[in-house]
């Protein structure tokens, strides 16, 4: 379960930017192609915050849909997986435009 190490990394990042203030909420952006299971990350986040400035903080997750771009059709469209072909012309590979995100977007501190 790599979500535990991701949660610990999020806690480290947030503590560094909180500058000693208590963190009330954290907003994460997680892309559908990131390989992260949001529900597992929520569980690990709660466990990772015990005894830190983030203990009791709310975790808000914004899921980012995956989109691909076909260079042949010059069109962007939603995709479900890395190797989806273009739904218009069938071309492959596609350029991934979004869906790989995994970042701390926002912190709410006291």
Q: What is the pLDDT of residue 68?
A: 97
Terminal CA-CA length for the chain = 32
Q: Is the pLDDT of residue 58 over 90?
A: yes
Q: Is the pTM of this model over 0.85?
A: yes
Question: 83-107: per-residue pLDDT in tens?
Answer: 999 999 999 999 999 999 999 999 9
How far is the C-alpha of 31 from the C-alpha of 48, rounded, in Å? 22
pLDDT at 86: 95
Q: How confident is the model at residue 1 (pLDDT cuts 50, 70, 90)?
A: low
Structural domains for the chain? 3-65+99-109 (3.30.2320.50)
In this prediction, residues 47-73 reach a mean pLDDT of 96
């Amino acid at each position: 379960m790599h979500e535990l190490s991701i949660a610990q990394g999020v806690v480290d990042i947030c503590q560094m930017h909180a500058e000693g203030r208590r963190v009330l909420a954290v907003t994460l952006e997680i892309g559908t192609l990131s390989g992260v299971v949001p529900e597992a990350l929520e569980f690990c986040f709660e466990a990772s915050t015990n005894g830190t400035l983030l203990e009791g903080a709310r975790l808000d997750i914004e899921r980012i849909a995956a989109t691909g771009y076909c260079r042949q059709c010059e069109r962007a469209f939603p995709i479900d997986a890395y190797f989806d072909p273009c739904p218009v012309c069938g071309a492959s590979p596609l350029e991934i435009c979004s869906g790989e995100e995994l970042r701390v977007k926002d912190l709410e501190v006291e």
